[in-house]
Copies of this chain bind each other. A is one copy, B any other.
Amino acid sequence: VRLGVDIGGTKTDVVLVRDDVVIARHRAPSGFGEEDVIRSATAAVGAVLAHAGIGFDDVRSIGIGVPGGVVDGVVTYALNLGLERLDLAGALEEAWGLRPVVDNDVNVAALGAWTHLGRTDDSLAYLNLGTGLAAGLILGGRLWRGANGTAGELGHISVDPKGPADADGLPGALETYASGSGITRQWGVQGAVARDVFDAADRGDPTAIAIREGLYFGVASAVRALVLMLDVQRVIIGGGLAAHSAEILLGTARQFAEWGSRSAFLESLALQERLLVLDADAPVAALGAADLGAGDVSRG
């Protein structure tokens, strides 16, 4: 059996895979800080194995997805998990006696989505609308990580020099429009979450409505940039904001129609038809992590 572990900012999701079928799954809150992250991941792995009645000795491989940068199993700047720098592969190898393969959670989700869709697409982008905004890229059936492992950081592309400010004060970043942190920063109410902004928009609050319109503009702009730059066959929308996918898809359709009505070239790209939202409950990232650990995916 193979283990796939997705250590998210809030939840740790573990799947046990045998012959490409998920035979057990366990979800639990993620820890915060080095010790707690390791403890919660270990506990979740123990729980899924106990649930399946399988011993650790039968595990062939472990793959892990985490937020932040990952090079050779070392995680940096996973700030949602309270990690500045942690040799996660090393620490878990010591604890488990088996070295896991670790990668960025968005890359892992892209792999998982690709597997979930049968690996028939030559290219796809997994656009993660989570706390931040980033994409995992499958190009030519391989994960593209870039020269330094920072490919897919399109959240920092600016689409408006007069747009709302990001955490650094830079205007118009895609992440400001279309991520949980960006939406709540624009809203400015202490302790609020994106849901609160959408509720306020539903009640007719004009500021909230403008932020919600900005979300549609941001997602549409991200998809436009991904397809123009890479001509990926599909763009899969995932992350926490995908819970609002019905409204988001209506919003992007409206934006694409406006652009397409003026530009035959943009119209010809069929941006909306490339969009896909996966079932929010599908263990896409954990599944991708299991693939990653097993090494049965071609990687660039």
Contact = CB atoms under 8 A, between A and B. Distances in A.
Interface of A: 122-123, 135, 137, 139-140, 142, 144-162, 166, 168-170, 172, 221, 224-226, 228-233, 259, 262-266, 269, 300
Contact of A225 (B147, B225, B232): B225
A147 B231 contact: yes
B144 A225 contact: no
Nearest to A268: B150
Interface-centre pick from A160, A166, A259 (highest chain B CB count, 10 A): A160
Given A159-B161, A168-B263, 20 more contacts: A122-B147, A135-B229, A140-B142, A144-B230, A146-B230, A147-B231, A150-B269, A155-B228, A156-B224, A156-B263, A157-B224, A157-B228, A158-B224, A159-B160, A160-B160, A160-B162, A166-B263, A168-B262, A168-B265, A225-B229
B224 A139 contact: no
A-B residue pairs, 5 tightest by C-beta: A146-B231, A147-B233, A151-B231, A168-B263, A140-B300
Contact of A265 (B148, B156, B232): B156
Q: Which of A231, A264, A266 has the largest number of chain B CB atoms within 10 A?
A: A231
- What copy number does this chain have within its complex? 2
Nearest to A224: B157
A300 B228 contact: no
A170 B231 contact: no
Contact of A169 (B145, B262, B300): B262
Given A142-B140, A168-B263, A263-B170, A230 B151 contact: yes
A169 B266 CA distance: 12
B231 A157 contact: no
Contacts of A142: 140
A73 to B, nearest CB: 19
A105 B264 CA distance: 22
